[in-house]
Amino acid sequence: MSDIDVAVARVAKETTGYQEAFDVIEVLQQAALDSGGDSTEHGPAALFAGGCVRDWASGKTPKDLDIATAMGPDDVVRALRRALKGCSTQLVGKHFGVVRVRPERDGQWYEVATFREEGPYTDHRHPSTVTWTTREKDAQRRDFTVNGLYFDPVSSRVFDDVGGLEDLSTSTLRAIGDPQRRFEEDALRLIRAIRFATRENYSIEPLTLEAMRRHAGLLDTVSPERIREEFIKIASLGGDRMARAFADIVATGLLAVVWKLMHPDGMQCPDERSISEIGHRLSSMNNLPEGPLRLSPFIAAWHVDLVTSSDSYSSWKSVIQEAAKRLRFSADEADLMIASLHAIWRSRGGSEVDAFRARRCAAHPQVAWHLSFARACAVPIRDAALVEAALFEIAKGWRIKPILNGGDLMALGATEGPMLGRLTKWLLAKQFRGDICDETSARHAVSERITRLRMP
């Protein structure tokens, strides 16, 4: 065994779920031998494939374990159900030879895919034909060399038919075969290449990069939903890496394509000065929201100049709402982006707010993000010190408890409905400001307020 074989085997055995997946591979290899299949000419009949092998070769723990095999999907199902008691299988993509497998009743699911060769892609997404093939040809249909690796856990051997190990050693992202064809097959690979190079800190090989520039326009054949998912993954990488990904989006010409998707009315794409400022904003961001909400600051940073140059809240809000809609934002994602940009827009006036308003702002679940976003945009958000002080109180466990509840207010003469709601908010505001601190003063103030409200 080579040094890389030994290294991959050592890291692989430490991976959660490895033994279950190993059992699947062992069963499939034995089934192929029992049926008279030759596992020597083209290597073993079942192996780990793709990203998990890349991660093991890099000394990392993969999130998913994918298996590739010379056996057809029906044969895979039969072999596993016969050999593994309690094994569950699902034919989720029989045309592509994909079977989901759960070796144990309460275990995790794995994907087993038959080695395949693909015909021409007519829609930049799906191959016109699929035929079963060998491992060597299966590797040729994959996207990048570092993802074209296979590992046999039985013999502890890595199979590299595309030069992936060498590119791993030099941190190079290179398309397999003809890079023009790879991006014509699936245009989403244009963004995936940027995300992957950014996440792993790889340089994009020159011919691959040139092919990305030449085929940037193909991104408009990709559904907004798929673009959105890739942007969420890019945003999850954090400040400096978000900035690097954005720089690559600009350098490859993809920014113009995405901008046109969001603003089909012909709104001018950010110029060189704006692009530089966007990159600075992204690199300065921290305290990012969790999960898909990370998409909001990533795209909001692209639109700060639009917002700060507008005198009308409604005019820029409608533009942002339409952009969010076209990029398939969820309602929460759109609301967060608008709220963050609104904070920037309102900060231009520099007017002050009182401690009550500051505490109410601090109670917002995303206030830490709003403050961070404002700083990243180099905007002195108004009353930031007050909001931060209130945020600190909340973080220590400060919570305001209403002195009088709805029943108390009705006993003092409030009527159910709008009056009760207005009184409740008014009393809470008085408590926030410190004007009312005990029940006696609260009852007296509420009685006077009810009298005034009833006056003609």
User: In the beta sheet, which residues pair with residue 144?
Assistant: 175
Beta strands in 15-61 (DSSP E): 46-49
Q: Which of 145, 170, 195 is the last residue of a domain?
A: 170
pLDDT of residue 105: 80
Alpha helices in 163-235 (DSSP H): 164-169, 179-185, 189-200, 206-214, 224-235
With respect to residue 285, please indicate whether it lies within any of the assigned structural domains.
Answer: no
Report the 3 state secondary structure along 221-280. Answer: HCCHHHHHHHHHHHHCCCHHHHHHHHHHHHHCCHHHHHHHHHCCCCCCCCCHHHHHHHHH
With respect to residue 418, please indicate whether it lies within any of the assigned structural domains.
Answer: yes
With respect to residue 164, please indicate whether it lies within any of the assigned structural domains.
Answer: yes
With respect to residue 279, please indicate whether it lies within any of the assigned structural domains.
Answer: no
Number of independent structural domains in the chain: 2
Low-confidence ranges of the chain (pLDDT < 70): 1, 37-42, 287, 347-370, 378-400, 432-434, 456
With respect to residue 386, please indicate whether it lies within any of the assigned structural domains.
Answer: no
Look-up of token digits 């921290």:
286
Q: What is the pLDDT of residues 77-103, one digit of tens each?
A: 999 999 988 888 998 877 888 999 998
How many residues appear in the chain? 456
Q: Which of 135, 150, 170 is the last residue of a domain?
A: 170
pLDDT of residue 453: 80
With respect to residue 106, please indicate whether it lies within any of the assigned structural domains.
Answer: yes
Residue 330: half-sphere exposure toward Cβ, Cα within 13 Å: 10
347 within 8 A of 379, measured Cβ to Cβ: yes
Q: What is the residue range of 52's domain?
A: 1-170
The 3-state DSSP class for residue 453 equals: helix
pLDDT of residue 350: 47
Q: Which amino acid is at 184?
A: E
Cα distances (angstroms) measured from residue 334 to each of 74, 237, 258, 321, 347: 45, 20, 17, 7, 20
| Backbone phi, psi, residue 300, to 5° | -60, -40
With respect to residue 133, please indicate whether it lies within any of the assigned structural domains.
Answer: yes
Q: Which of 123, 149, 170 is the last residue of a domain?
A: 170
113 within 8 A of 128, measured Cβ to Cβ: no
pLDDT of residue 39: 53
Q: How far apart are CA 37 and CA 54, in angstroms?
A: 28
Q: Which amino acid is at 72?
A: G
The candidate with the shortest Cα–Cα distance to 446, out of 430, 416, 432, is 430
User: In the beta sheet, which residues pair with residue 296?
Assistant: none
With respect to residue 209, please indicate whether it lies within any of the assigned structural domains.
Answer: no
pLDDT of residue 125: 76
432 within 8 A of 360, measured Cβ to Cβ: yes
pLDDT of residue 436: 80
Query: The domain that contains 137 carries what CATH number?
Result: 3.30.460.10
